[in-house]
Chain A
Amino acid sequence: MKNLSELDRVIHEPARLTLVALLSSVKSADFLFLLKESQLTKGNLSVHLSRLEEAGYVEAEKTFRGKIPHTEYCLTAKGKSAFDLYRKNLGSIFNKKKA
């Protein structure tokens, strides 16, 4: 039970976990890519990205592509290590249950 409580609650939420997993293998991705891949609504996606930004796991960079505003998101070093730790903890929970 102790292991379960050690899981990072910011990442543990399924929508945020999907976003962190998507961002973990790229340098950055824009809002549209995350919207399409996560299949969240725009509002939901914004809320979850803000939550990840508040935790310091994600950084946003606002630029312009022509005249259109363009926001790219990337995982910070803190976010990467939190994601790695989350996966490790999750794995150890299942391994203990098997043993």
Chain B
Amino acid sequence: MNTQIDTAIKRTRAYWFVDGFTEITMGGMFIVLAGALFITRNTSQTPFLSWFLSVTGEIIVLKVLSFVLVVLALWWLKDNFTYPRTGFVRNQISVPQIFIIFRNVILFLLLPITILLIASLFITSTDNVLATMPVWFPIGLGLVWTALVVLAGEWMGLLRFRFIGVVTLLTGIAVGIWQSTLGLPNIPANAESTIFQSLLLESIDRTIYSLGLILVIFGITLLASGLATFMRYRNENPTPYSEDV
């Protein structure tokens, strides 16, 4: 009986993902962000600091804008498609709870990367940590995102999130291995600042490229999963609910 109660609770929690719209819009957002990363790669000879600040600024603005667009699109889609078919649910999230969730997500994202960084410092020098960033960053990010996706899936009882998690993990590992096969920038000890900076720039550029690749594949996976969910939802609920049915 308790298992059935848990199933009912999980089905309600998963209502936000019942129609696939959330995955479709979020997947689209990740693909747009990846496109922005590829476009803003430092192909010109712009000084590192100004390039880095402009990229960070552009990404933040784009992230906020695309997030607002995603929320508006979701609001419209749910209001016009989902609620007339399978009803409306108001979630139990208050403003303080949003801050707690946000804090936990930040902690969850930063903690593994910090641990990886500290562990690397004990094994190798700082220069090697920076040089190997194109390898460890995608693998670490893949691990963190997989954990997040799988945990969210278990909380809502959504089995397809396990598949998304596995794809994300494999993508992270594959990108990391691919970057290591390309060879890593070798930062010599006592290197001149200009040489050091150009090697560092190469490492950061390749890391951004890796991040872009992970974002694209994560976005495509979300999009595919969302479309499949939407097709199933539309087949199960072809028309809005009517009193006469």
Contact = CB atoms under 8 A, between A and B. Distances in A.
A35 interface: yes
Nearest to B1: A90
A24 B8 CA distance: 9
Interface string B83-96: 10011111111000
On chain B, which size bracket covers the interface? 10 to 19
Contacts of B90: 26-29, 72
Given A24-B9, A91-B2, A30 B87 contact: yes
B2 A33 contact: no
A25 interface: yes
A24 B134 CA distance: 45
Q: In terms of DSSP, what is the predominant structure of the interface of chain A?
A: helix
A90 B119 CA distance: 47
Interface stretch (B10-18, B34-42, B201-209): B10-18
Given A27-B92, A29-B90, A72-B88, A37 B12 contact: yes
Contacts of B12: 21-26, 29, 37
A30 B85 CA distance: 12
Interface string A14-52: 000110011111111111111111000000000000000
Interface of B: 1-2, 5, 8-9, 11-13, 15, 83, 86-93, 241
Given A33-B88, A34-B87, 6 more contacts: A22-B11, A26-B90, A28-B90, A30-B83, A36-B87, A37-B12
